[in-house]
Structure 1
Amino acid sequence: MSNTFLSEFLLITNIHTVLMIFLLIGVFLIISKMSKKLKFNKLMITSIFIGLILGIFIQAVAKFPDDPTSITWINEVTAWYGLFGNGFMDLLKMIVVPLVLVSIIRVIMNMKDDNLGKLTFRSMTMFFVTTAIAAIIAIVVANLFKLGTNLEVVNSSNEVREIVSLPSTIRGLLPSNPVQAMAEGNTVAVVIFAVFLGLAIRRLRRKYMDIIKPFIDLVEAFYKIIVSVAITVIKMMPYAVVPLMASTIASRGVKSLLDVTDFILALYISVVIMFLVHIIIIAASGMNPITYIKNSSKALILAFTSRSSLGTLPVTMEVLTDNLNVDLGTASFVTSLGSNMGMNGCAGIYPALVSVMIANMAGVQMNFTFYVMLIIVITISSLGIAGIPGTATMAVSVVISGMGMASYFPLAGAIIAIDPILDMGRTMLNVNGAMTAAVAVDNSLNRNNKKESKVA
């Protein structure tokens, strides 16, 4: 009974577990004192380095094992660290749906008649174009690194995940059951439902303003409340970053990264190049790149450590509206779509790198036609995987199946094994892509509105 209590309920069977928990509490006390002296962005950057050092320290105490998951006390430590790190992400996810719902309703009911169509078209165009660019960059980098040519073929039990057709996926995004869509975190469906509510309010208030006025006031009041809740949760971020980073490093191990160093380098180099492309788009949209990087760092750091585009959504929206002066309507609409489609990292760079690697490992001939088809498949599938858990793995499944290489999916086993390390950079790029799209779309809408007002 005692052993069961310690090993299965309390999850403390080793002195190392106790020491690492107290060490984390000590780090929290240090962060609490630092928060009084450092600005939030600097505190976030400091926290990520503390988490990195803590993760390496845990590995060092365990003598850098080949398989950290086989060591009981490391599993216990990551579970306790997950209480703080993943618990924070759960709080963020708690406010995602109500924040998106009320923000979109509020925006639509106050939006100009001709802006909604432009906003939708330009947002989707930005996501498709940037995803295609991300795929091209990854293909070039993958060939420069010659991914797969020297990689040992790994037998894996991984199988291609079930693929849903594009028409079925798009239909699945429609809110046939709005409550279920909210429960599943299908933000695209929530956005569609909110748009219909917003449009109904716009139409009805011309004749029935006295009847719907209480609901309008409720929307405005609820928006103020949910924003206040979001700010309260966001203040906890530095305390979550440390255990998120530490548990990722501790659970994956250092040695597991050495066998696929080339792929890791290729992915992060691709991420950096695509990030620079985003910066160019930001500059072309009239915003100072340095100002952008400085003001967006909070969302990027959280995305990097949490590996959740959807969980980062409240912070992304706050950064766009408060720090980057993006219109609330544009920020809400574009980032909500961006958390489910057009992900430059997960649906652009990653499947392109894996496809080239698998093609080299399997001896598939790659010519100009192959690459053009790969870019097209990646761009289209960036919509087809919207709202599906395990987005990156699903993206790979869809793409390699579309390229006729489904039978070679097990060759990606070594890459999937270190997915959390890769997912950090991918998710950060996903969020940055959504913010870039929001800035660019907002600038284009404001520019057009200014031109129209001058003509008038």
Structure 2
Amino acid sequence: MRLPKWSRSFGVQVTIALIAGVILGLIARSWGPVSEDQDNWLGTTLDTIGSSYVTLLKAAVVPLVITAIIASIGNLRKVTNAARLAVSTLLWFAFTALIAVLIGLILGVVIQPGMHADATSLSGSAPDSEGSWIGFLTGLVPVNFLGLEVGTSADEAGGLVSEVDFNILQLIIVSGAIGIAAVKVGKAAEPFLQFTEAALAVVQKVVWWIVRIAPIGTLGLIGNAVNSYGWSTMGSLLWFVVAVYVGLAIVFFVVYPTLAKLNGLSVRQYFSGVWPAAQMGFVSRSSIGTMPVTQKVATDNFGVPQSYAAFAVPFGATTKMDGCAAIYPAIAAVFVAQFFGIDLTIVQYFLIVFVSVIGSAATAGTTGATVMLTLTLSTLGLPLEGVGLLLAIEPIVDMGRTALNVSGQALIPAIVAKRHGILDEVRYDSDRIDGYVPVDEDADESVLAGSSAEGSDEAELEQPSGGTRA
């Protein structure tokens, strides 16, 4: 039996999975755990599906970042204004972060979430790991060639368990150094750069397969979130959650569309184009995990040249965090100060702005923003126990934060490309089918359409930029 056409739409499949996840999560929560430390079979199944999907996404991050950055730097050697593109991207990231943190501060002062919190129902302790400027700076130094971090811990049975994780900032630094070195070597490094581009195409194909099963992952992630936290978790933190989501909504529905409009981009096309990335960010809670989709949105939907997007999107996935590193820490800092009866000074408000704009990379693109919040609180001299107060609703606000993060990570490269005269405006204004603008069948259905193209994108980049602006 052939499924109806509408049911084969990727967007429809994810939406159905969202609804089904909420329903199954509520059912699992109503059943309750089997014992104090064991969930029922449905809850366990949802958790396993969701965590497995995020693990799959993260597994593709290391090869994707390495090949994408090296290949993008190799492509940028053919661009006369590469340095200006990089500087413009960084300035726009900082500018939008400034707007976001100011909105967060205003909402924190106006809504006063800390004054509405019930002190008798909340308790918190200092986090196990704290963010600091020294820790952030030393964390930039690669510990090994791939920026991998290996840790060993004891399990419940007393055995040793080894875990391998990666530091995305170190990974970017290592990959960037290799890419720059390859460009400096010149002609002798051409085979290496060609191999990297071919490897990138292969990795993109694998990542696209992972993206296509997103509805399954969505069902597990949303179902587990509802089962674990339910609707009552917000409790006395309801006003804090409201303040955060109002801030996220203002940036997503007002600030970003306004910036798009001011730069000659269609607001309607922005919303329809960014939706796949925002949707994936909401359910995965990871900018890095969503990066393949964000990159596809930037190139396929927004018409950002591949050679520029391959640099801007990975860079944005670690430094462009308007949700996690601007709105959230601003409102959270005001909340903690109000909760503990501390009056913030003008200097401290300026410090919140400074930390949010400069320290965004401390979030490192992974799930959660605890490091960024502890960095902010420690800079202000506020009690770190405030972090513990907010852990209960962390997953609830993190979904919205990440959706905003990835939306900005896709939009800003489009704005920069438009201002530099290299944006494919025909593609930006094209109709989306199944969430994306259709790509040439010969270009492969990879996550980064046209990744190895030596024609349109590069030729477009080599055109004189005329009245190029920052």
TM-score interval, normalised by the smaller of the two chains = 0.7 to 0.9
1:216-254 CA distances to partner (integer Å, 9 max, x unpaired)?
332232122112111111110111111110110111122
Determine the structure 1 residue equivalent to 2:226.
Answer: 249
CA distance, structure 2, for counterparts of residue 227 and residue 140 of structure 1: 41
Contact 1:320 1:331 in 2 (8 A): yes
Determine the structure 1 residue equivalent to 2:443.
Answer: none
Determine the structure 1 residue equivalent to 2:209.
Answer: 232
> Does residue 74 in structure 1 map to residue 39 in structure 2?
yes
Determine the structure 1 residue equivalent to 2:63.
Answer: 98
With over 3 angstroms needed to count, the CA separation of the structure-2 counterparts of 1:91 and 1:335, relative to structure 1, is: same
1:178 alignment partner AA: F
Which ranges of structure 1 fall in alignment gaps of 5 or more residues? 1-31, 63-67
CA distance, structure 2, for counterparts of residue 453 and residue 371 of structure 1: 39
Deviation at 1:85, TM superposition (A): 1.7
> Does residue 132 in structure 1 map to residue 109 in structure 2?
no
> Does residue 444 in structure 1 map to residue 419 in structure 2?
yes
1:326 alignment partner AA: V
Corresponding residue to 2:48 among 80, 83, 107:
83
2:93 alignment partner AA: F
Determine the structure 1 residue equivalent to 2:374.
Answer: 397
Corresponding residue to 1:193 among 166, 169, 174:
174
1:93 alignment partner AA: K
With over 3 angstroms needed to count, the CA separation of the structure-2 counterparts of 1:69 and 1:35, relative to structure 1, is: farther
Corresponding residue to 1:319 among 277, 290, 297:
297
CA distance, structure 2, for counterparts of residue 136 and residue 360 of structure 1: 18
Determine the structure 2 residue equivalent to 1:300.
Answer: 278
> Does residue 420 in structure 1 map to residue 395 in structure 2?
yes
Contact 1:344 1:430 in 2 (8 A): yes
Which deviates further from its counterpart, 388-397 or 45-54?
388-397
Deviation at 1:273, TM superposition (A): 0.4
> Does residue 342 in structure 1 map to residue 320 in structure 2?
yes
Which deviates further from its counterpart, 33-42 or 87-96?
33-42
1:139-192 CA distances to partner (integer Å, 9 max, x unpaired)?
111222221113222563521555454355234224352223496433333333
2:170 alignment partner AA: A
Contact 1:147 1:263 in 2 (8 A): yes
With over 3 angstroms needed to count, the CA separation of the structure-2 counterparts of 1:91 and 1:319, relative to structure 1, is: same
Corresponding residue to 2:142 among 175, 178, 201:
175
Contact 2:374 2:384 in 1 (8 A): yes
Structure 2 matches for 1:4-403, cutoff 5 A? 37-62=7-32, 74=39, 76-111=41-76, 112=78, 114-153=80-119, 156-160=123-127, 162-163=129-130, 165-166=132-133, 168-175=135-142, 177-181=144-148, 184-206=165-187, 208=188, 212-275=189-252, 276-383=254-361, 385-387=362-364, 391-403=368-380
CA distance, structure 1, for counterparts of residue 295 and residue 422 of structure 2: 21
Deviation at 1:54, TM superposition (A): 2.2
Determine the structure 2 residue equivalent to 1:434.
Answer: 409
CA distance, structure 2, for counterparts of residue 381 and residue 248 of structure 1: 29
Contact 2:298 2:304 in 1 (8 A): yes
Contact 2:28 2:43 in 1 (8 A): no
SS of alignment partner, residue 407 of structure 2: helix
Contact 1:351 1:378 in 2 (8 A): yes
2:331 alignment partner AA: L
CA distance, structure 2, for counterparts of residue 261 and residue 34 of structure 1: 41
CA distance, structure 1, for counterparts of residue 356 and residue 398 of structure 2: 18
CA distance, structure 1, for counterparts of residue 85 and residue 368 of structure 2: 25
1:278-333 CA distances to partner (integer Å, 9 max, x unpaired)?
22222233321211221221111111011111111111112211222112233222
1:318-356 CA distances to partner (integer Å, 9 max, x unpaired)?
221122211223322222122222311111111111111
With over 3 angstroms needed to count, the CA separation of the structure-2 counterparts of 1:99 and 1:451, relative to structure 1, is: closer
State percent identity of aligned pairs. 27
CA distance, structure 1, for counterparts of residue 16 and residue 130 of structure 2: 41
Deviation at 1:376, TM superposition (A): 1.9
- Alignment length (residue pairs): 413
Deviation at 1:451, TM superposition (A): 7.9
With over 3 angstroms needed to count, the CA separation of the structure-2 counterparts of 1:190 and 1:55, relative to structure 1, is: same
CA distance, structure 2, for counterparts of residue 311 and residue 69 of structure 1: 32
TM-score by length of 2: 0.79
CA distance, structure 1, for counterparts of residue 34 and residue 398 of structure 2: 19
Where is the helix percentage greater, Structure 1 or Structure 2? 1
Deviation at 1:204, TM superposition (A): 3.1
Deviation at 1:277, TM superposition (A): 0.9
CA distance, structure 2, for counterparts of residue 119 and residue 454 of structure 1: 14
CA distance, structure 1, for counterparts of residue 331 and residue 4 of structure 2: 40
1:428 alignment partner AA: A
Contact 1:104 1:329 in 2 (8 A): no
TM-score by length of 1: 0.82
Contact 2:324 2:405 in 1 (8 A): yes
Root-mean-square deviation (Å): 2.9
With over 3 angstroms needed to count, the CA separation of the structure-2 counterparts of 1:171 and 1:103, relative to structure 1, is: same
Which ranges of structure 2 fall in alignment gaps of 5 or more residues? 150-163, 424-460
Corresponding residue to 1:410 among 366, 378, 385:
385
1:189 alignment partner AA: Q
CA distance, structure 2, for counterparts of residue 419 and residue 69 of structure 1: 25
SS of alignment partner, residue 179 of structure 1: coil
Which deviates further from its counterpart, 439-448 or 411-420?
439-448
